[in-house]
Amino acid sequence: MVQLNWLMELSAAIFAIGVAGFLARRNILVMFMSIELMLNAVNLAFVSLGSRMGTMDGQVIVFFVMTVAAAEAAVGLAIIISIFRNRETVHADDLTLLKW
Amino acid sequence: MNVEFAALSLILVFPALGVLFNLFLGPRMGRSAVNIVGPAVMFLAFAVATWAFLNVLAMPAGSALYCPLWRWLEAGKFHVELGLRVDALSGVMVMIVTGVGAFIHLYSIGYMAHDEDYARFFTYLNLFAFSMLILVLADNLVMMFVGWEGVGLCSYLLIAFWYTNPEFAYNGRKAFIVNRIGDAGFLLGIFTILATLAHHGVWSLNFVEMQAHAGMIDVTAATAAGLLLFLGATGKSAQIPLYVWLPDAMVGPTPVSALIHAATMVTAGVYMIARMNFLYLLAPDAMAVVATIGGLTAFFAGTVAIVQPDIKKVLAYSTVSQLGYMFLGVGSGAFAAGIFHVMTHAFFKGLLFLCAGSVIHGLEGEQDMNKMGDLRHHMPVTFWTMLIATLAISAVPGFSGYFSKDLILEGAYESGHFWLWLLGAITAGITGFYMFRLIFMTFFGESRVDPDKLHHIHESPPVMTIPLIVLAVLATIGGYVGLPEGLLWGDAFAKFLSPVVGNFKPTVEASAAMLSVVATGLGAIGILLAYVCYMRMPGLPMIAAWRLKGLYELLLEKYRIDELYNLLVTRPLFFISDYILNRGIDRMVIDGAANGAGLAVETGGEVARRAEDGNVQHYALVYLLGVIAIVGYYLYLVVK
Amino acid sequence: MPLILFWFLATLSVVAALGVVLQRNPVHCLLALVLTLLTIAVLFIGQGAVVVGFLQAIVYAGAIMVLFLFVIWLLNLPVETGSTGRLAAKLLGAIGVAALLAELEVFWVPSHLQVKAAGHVAGYGAIDALSQTLFSEYLIAFEVTSVLLLVAVVGAVALARRTTETEIQQRPENSARPEKAA
């Protein structure tokens, strides 16, 4: 019998790894992948809890998360391509546009 | 009995009006107007003073005229009411100040005839008279201090009258600053007295009231207050240790030297002690200090005077020396004698300075006696009046100085100060020597005058010679109010002043005649020595100077006291001021704090700026911190 | 699900996640991410969420990751050099992550006992059950999500398109000033 807390801790661990990766890496695409990691960790948590509680709600939410993740990935990558065309770089230190 | 006499205020009002006129209207109304108004207000003040003084003479002994003004200070129980008072003591002083002052104002018309700044000069001169009269007429210690400060200011203004010369300006500052040191002592003295009296519930600094409650002051407080007040006196009246400003004050116009640094301001210290006699009588130690410093100063200043080549410097050191006599007098308990000498000194020293001014004026600015000689034919009035003054100061019997100096030396001996008496007697000899040296070098012998100036030597105009004559008459007959015991009316002066300053009580028996003979004899020796050195054997002084070179230079350099003060006081103060206070505290601490505050804000801004620098990962970090906080909040709820 | 399988999958997913974060070459990162996704998919299936597990593998790993890969190849990125950044930020980040992990652990550690285990109904995790819940309780969310997808598609196309010459000319900074005579 797989204990719930193991699954939740696994989810927390993957989430933490994702956060660390987002903060530490400089390559935008790898940062993006870290975001995906975080999303997946959350998915795992939802499914585990839903399964334990015997409802389908967890899985439905995962369904939505996946959809939104797909949309976000598409738009995000399009932005990255657009930036790369203008600046020839995907290094986070060079892309400091998100200010006044 | 005390009589109210509102006209006393006029004595102050007239000089004040003079100040206002000369200050605001003077330059526009022209030289003639200023020349009239300046002296006129003084003569008017003198007239009122005379009227008041005659009233006091007519009233029974111990009477006074008073004129209340207004309540000036009020702080809790402490209050200061301003008021004027003319009793025997201040009556004498106000006569001297207005009388001699008026004639010096008159003299200044001629002396400053070629100076463009005449309006400013008379403004300052009138202002001085105003302040000095406040000092003399004040009925309480605080008001006296106001006048005290005022004359200090005017002294500075007048010494540095030709301020474009840096040395003159420096000397003016020196006078003011040295005076300030004394004034600090004076203030502390006032505080001591007030603290002591207030302890017993008396909060007044009025002279009459203080004297009435003098019994409340214990010996320690009286000694402390007396010494502190005397410190102020050493500053104002140029005694050891604060006399150094007076010789340098000679750079001012000669009428200034005559009025301020001979006749009036410098005697303020003596007047103050006479006024506060009730305090000093409670503190014999303080009086001993006063007398000792007076005697020592008299001697030392005299020794410096004998080698000075500048005619005004000789007179300056002579003034310091004579002031020493006055303090010797009041310090021995002979208050009346001290004031008597104040009066005679005002006559003959004022006259000496005016004559010196006349000589300088006639020689178009020459002050070095080595370049004078044989002037008595060219300037007869000046010569004869100056000779009379010299006879007076050398205590030649018959002239005023003889009577007053004798009374002082008698007082010194009879109060037990034998050594001080001896010092005073020797100084009398020295005085005779240097004064007649001055006469012989200036008016006799071969003429050493610059050839160019020889043609222009002329006697001074009447506006200058009339004051000389008046003062010469006073220097001759002025002493006859204080004759020795048993002779005619005796010491009428002392009797007149006794209700205010008390009677002198000798503790040592002495024959007045014997003391007089000794002092006069020494004086005669001094005069004879001068005659020999400067008339018979002119080479003798030079040989003596060469033989005693070390001593000669020490005296010429005035014992290098100025250099000593510079080393001990001025340079350390400048060092502290520049290195410690300026570079240390001001620049490093205060500026550092001010700049540091700015720097802190700047640095803080630099750090805070990074929170919004466009770097997405920094934003994520902040986001993460927010998440931690929110999760932590839920944690907190769960834990509860 | 057999415990040993779970532990194997758990370890693998953590290692793969670390691989995503620590690899230098972006392509290697991507492959590690794919591994993580597949591992999680298996975990899903093990929990009984069969449909979602397959969807994870097909949609996530199959489509989205391939999209990522295309972009990486398109941009022809070099291998990343050493990381830059201030020590203070790194330190703060490390502390933050550790703090977050600790906080979450506090929640999860007792969860084993707090959440009551309920049994699975028959057909749990099958497509029927999913669609039942999806189209009844979450209908509006479903519709909105589809609009979201449409917007995303349009946005992606608009952003990634090459701008034509006429569009560059029409930009305000290029046409406002009159050309200076050469």
pLDDT tens by residue, B618-634: 888 888 989 999 999 98
State yes or no: pLDDT of C90 exceeds 70.
yes
- Residue B550 near residue B544 (C-beta atoms within 8 A): no
First to last CA, chain C: 79
Residues B335 and B324: their CA atoms lie apart, in Å, by: 14
> Hey, what amino acid is at B47?
A
Per-residue pLDDT band for C16 (boundaries 50, 70, 90) equals very high
> What's the pLDDT at B457?
82
Task: Tell me how far apart the alpha carbons of residues B246 and C42 are, in angstroms, rounded to a whole number.
Answer: 110
Task: Give CA torsion, residues C130, C131, C135, C136, to 10 deg.
Answer: -60
ipTM score here?
Answer: 0.91
User: How big is chain B, counted in residues?
Assistant: 640
Which tens digit of pLDDT belongs to each residue from B347-396?
Answer: 999 999 999 999 998 888 888 888 888 888 888 899 999 999 999 999 99
Q: Check residue B444 and give its pLDDT.
A: 86
- Residues of chain C with C-beta less than 8 angstroms from the C-beta of A32: 68
The pLDDT assigned to B18 comes to: 93
CATH number, span C1-81: 1.20.120.1200
Cβ contacts of B635 on chain A, cutoff 8 Å: none
Q: What is the pLDDT of residue B61?
A: 82
Supply the mean pLDDT for chain B.
89
Tell me which of C92, C101, C105, C108 to substitute to probe the interface with B (most B C-beta atoms closer than 10 Å).
C92
* pLDDT band at residue C142 using 50, 70 and 90 as cut-offs: very high
Is the pLDDT at B537 greater than 80? The verdict is no
Can you tell me the mean pLDDT for B52-77? 89
Residue with structure tokens 């002198």? Answer: B504
Q: Is the dihedral of CA B357, B358, B364, B367 positive or negative?
A: negative
Contact list in B for residue C93 (CB cut-off 8 A) is 621, 624
Cβ separation C85–A26 shorter than 8 A: yes
pLDDT tens readout for residues B164-218: 999 999 999 999 999 999 999 999 999 999 999 988 888 888 888 888 888 888 8
Q: What percent of chain B has pLDDT over 90?
A: 52
Distance CA B142, CA B583 (A): 39
Overall average pLDDT of the B40-56 stretch:
93
User: What is the nearest CA distance from C64 to chain A, expressed in angstroms?
Assistant: 6
Q: Is B632 on the interface with C (CB under 8 A)?
A: yes
Residues whose CB is less than 8 angstroms from the CB of residue B203 and which lie 6 or more positions away in sequence, other chains included: B77, B78, B79, B194, B197
**Residues C50-65: tens digit of each pLDDT:** 999 999 999 999 999 9
CA distance A67 to chain C (A): 7
Task: Please report, for chain C, the start and end positions of each structural domain, with discontinuous segments joined by +.
Answer: 1-81
Q: Residue C118: helix, strand or coil by DSSP?
A: coil
- Mean pLDDT value across chain C: 85
Give the containing element (helix H, strand E) for B2: strand B2-4
Phi, then psi, of B238 in degrees rounded to 5 = 50, 60
Q: Strand, helix or coil at B74? A: strand
Residue of B606, B610, B617, B621 to mutate for C, most C C-beta atoms under 10 A: B621
Tell me how far apart the alpha carbons of residues B504 and B273 are, in angstroms, rounded to a whole number: 15
Are residues B460 and B362 in contact, defined by beta-carbon separation less than 8 angstroms?
yes
Strand order in the sheet with B2-4: B2-4, B64-75, B78-86
What 3-state DSSP class applies to B372? coil
What is the mean predicted confidence (pLDDT) over C29-48?
94
Question: What is the per-residue pLDDT for C82?
Answer: 59
B614: closest CA of chain A, how far (Å): 4
B615: nearest CB among A19, A22, A96: A96
Q: How far is CA B587 from CA B161, B575, B578, B593, in A?
A: 36, 15, 11, 9
Closest CA of chain C from A45, distance in Å: 10
Rounded Cα distance between B97 and B153, Å, is 17
Angle at the Cα of C146 from the Cα atoms of C141 and C152, rounded to 5 degrees:
120
Look up residue B453 and give its two tokens: 């100036």
Question: Which positions in chain B touch C89 (Cβ < 8 Å)?
Answer: 617-618, 621
Say if residue C182's pLDDT is above 50: no
**B241 prior amide bond cis, ω within 30:** yes
What's the pTM?
A: 0.72
3-state helix, strand, coil in chain B (%, to 5): 75, 5, 20
Nearest to B184 by CA among B235, B219, B135, B137: B235
pLDDT in tens, B294-337: 999 999 999 999 989 999 999 999 999 999 999 999 999 999 99
Model confidence band, residue C177 (pLDDT cutoffs 50, 70, 90): low
Fold of A4-88: Helix Hairpins (1.10.287)
Contact check, Cβ <8 Å, A23/B612: no
Per-domain boundaries in chain A? 4-88
Q: Which residue has the higher pLDDT, B455 or B501?
A: B501
Chains with 3+ CB–CB pairs under 8 A to A are: B, C
Residues 6 or more apart whose Cβ sits within 8 Å of residue A58:
A46, A47, A48, A49, A50, A51, C49
Roughly what angle, to the nearest 10 degrees, separates helices B335-362 and B88-111?
0
DSSP codes joined into one string, B266-287:
GGHHHHHHHHTHHHHHT-HHHH
Q: What is the pLDDT of residue C74?
A: 86
